[in-house]
Amino acid sequence: MTTSRETPASVGELCAILRRCDGDGTKVTVVGGNTLRGMGFPPTGEELVLETSALKRIVSYSSADLTVAVQGGCTLKSLASRLKRDGQFVPFDAPKPGEATVGGTLAAGWLGPRRHRYGRPRDLIVGSSIVLADGTLAHAGGMVVKNVAGYDMSRLYVGSFGTLGVLVQANLKTIPLAQAARAFLAPLPEGTRSRAFAQVRTLAVEPSAALWIDGFEKEVPGEPGAEGRLFILLESSEALLERATRDLRSAIGRAGVPETRIIDARARDMLDGIIDAYISTLADRSVTYRVASPPDRSEACALGARDLVRRFALDADTIADIMNGDVVVRASRLETRDLSLKLQVLDDALHQAQPRARIIAGDHPSRGAFNVWGNDPPAIGRMRALKARFDPNAVLNPNRFIGGI
């Protein structure tokens, strides 16, 4: 089978390509920046790779309205630099913003560590244009922030993994950047982790991001303590920053953590660096899972996942999102002997404990045999019906999503 590649230069061209594929049954893999290629089942039997990278325009930006319309192939970074000039941003918080595209990030349903504060990407989308499998171009929503005209199609496309259509334009809410940003990095000595988790969760001025990092020593700067590291990002008005800093330092002090490094320059870039670690792989020798848990169980969830990985004689690198509760754990081994087998057993065991664990990174060749999305959700029947109604010939990203979609 031969695979061809197309990079349509216009939405019209993209429509024509899909119309043709739908007609002759060509299977299409949709690709943005390819940064999240470790998510989902690997493409099998793809016949056309459809790249959105040429559709990268910022269609309209009205900073006074706090909205931006951007094409799906625009990278997160180029969008961010434009918005930054007007003191605004869209909190995607996705890895590799220089390559990742708006469309790909939304389609993958990427969830970042600041969402408890700024909302999930699905809560930032106010309108969309999508090309359906049959080449139809459909719009939803608009450029206003409150809209109940019709079903909320745009939100439905977020997280649909390119299986309902190709997102060619997203209209997004933008958010004014907080005046001040300050990062804190603290090594956690023996016996401080649990208290640190608890203290951070009770702060009056909530951090924008609070992560516990265990491992990922190459990827994340700073010396780890016996119980890993704590990374915190505060974002606030200038007037609030001093108090927020004081409160945070004394809370961490109460947890028994002696030293905290404060980083003011490029504090937000530091968060970006850690987010890159979420999907950093050891080529074909690692698999990374994301597990959702309620915030008050994030520590237990992280330790559970980490210990499970270690039980199968694999190395574990872990990040727990203290504010949102989700946990990222990377299982790896430099020694490749029996690695497939170990990872397979881990995959089973992890899903016993965490039915919703999903893979977000890892090029391991047997990934396709794993429970990539976690167990089927209760409404899987309706999801399959939706797919059948949107893409009856299963042209778009076939078999890459959950439950055979």
Partner 1 sequence: MNASLAQRLADAVGPENVKTAPEDLAVYSFDAYSEGKLPAAVVIPSGTREVSAVVKIARELGEPVIARGAGTGLCGGAISVDGGGVVISFARMHRLLELDTANRRARVQPGLVNLQLSQQVASSRLFYAPDPASQRSSTIGGNIATNAGGPHCLSYGTTVNHVLALEVVDENGDVFTTDVDDAGYDLTAVLVGSEGTLGVVTSAWVRLLRSPESTRVWLAAFADIESASAAVSAIIGAGIIPTALEMMDAVIVKAVEAAFHAGYPTDAAAVLLIENAGFEDEMDAYEAALREITRKEGSLSWRAARTAAERDALWAGRKGAVGALGRVAPNYYTQDVTVPRSVLPKALRAVEVAASENDLVVGNVFHAGDGNLHPLLVYDKRDRRQVGAVLSTGDAILRAAIELGGTISGEHGIGYEKREAMTRVYSTEDLATMARVRDVFDPR
The 256-295 site mask, x for binding partner 1 (CB under 8 A), equals ------------------------------------x-xx
Nearest distance in Å: CB 371, partner 1: 10
C-alpha distances out from residue 10 to 31, 55, 143, Å: 15, 7, 21
Residues 376-405 that bind partner 1 (CB under 8 A): 376-380, 382-383, 385-386, 389-390, 401-403, 405
Residues 64-83 that bind partner 1 (CB under 8 A): 64-67
Nearest distance in Å: CB 83, partner 1: 11
Stretch that binds partner 1, among 50-58, 224-232, 362-370, 374-382 (CB under 8 A): 374-382
85 contributes a contact to partner 1 by CB under 8 A:
no
Q: How many helices (H) and strands (E) does the chain have?
A: 11, 18
Indicate the DSSP class of residue 143.
S
C-alpha distances out from residue 49 to 2, 7, 312, Å: 11, 9, 37
Residues 201-230 that bind partner 1 (CB under 8 A): 204-205
Residues 294-313 that bind partner 1 (CB under 8 A): 294-296
Q: Which sign, positive or negative, has the C-alpha torsion 79, 85, 90, 96?
A: positive
Alpha-carbon torsion, ordered 214, 219, 207, 173, to 10 deg: -130
Cα distance between residue 59 and residue 153, in whole Å:
20
Nearest distance in Å: CB 368, partner 1: 16
Nearest distance in Å: CB 376, partner 1: 8
- Buried residues in 106-135 as b, exposed as e (16+ CB within 10 A): bbbbbbbbbbbbbebbbebbbbbbbbbbbb
Nearest distance in Å: CB 124, partner 1: 9
Q: Tokens for 164, please give them.
A: 């309902």
- State the number of binding residues for partner 1 (CB under 8 A): 73
Among 38, 113, 187, 325, binds partner 1 (CB under 8 A): 325
- Buried residues in 244-262 as b, exposed as e (16+ CB within 10 A): bbebbeebbeebebeebee
Cα distance between residue 284 and residue 245, in whole Å:
42
Cα distance between residue 111 and residue 137, in whole Å:
27
Nearest distance in Å: CB 159, partner 1: 5
Nearest distance in Å: CB 174, partner 1: 9
Residues 134-193 that bind partner 1 (CB under 8 A): 136-153, 155-156, 158-160, 164, 176-177
Residues 350-369 that bind partner 1 (CB under 8 A): 356, 358
Name 199's Cβ contacts closer than 8 Å, sequence gap at least 6. Answer: 251, 252, 254, 255
Of 88 and 286, CB closest to partner 1: 88
Among 23, 81, 123, 338, binds partner 1 (CB under 8 A): 123
Q: Which sign, positive or negative, has the C-alpha torsion 55, 57, 59, 61?
A: positive
Nearest distance in Å: CB 99, partner 1: 24
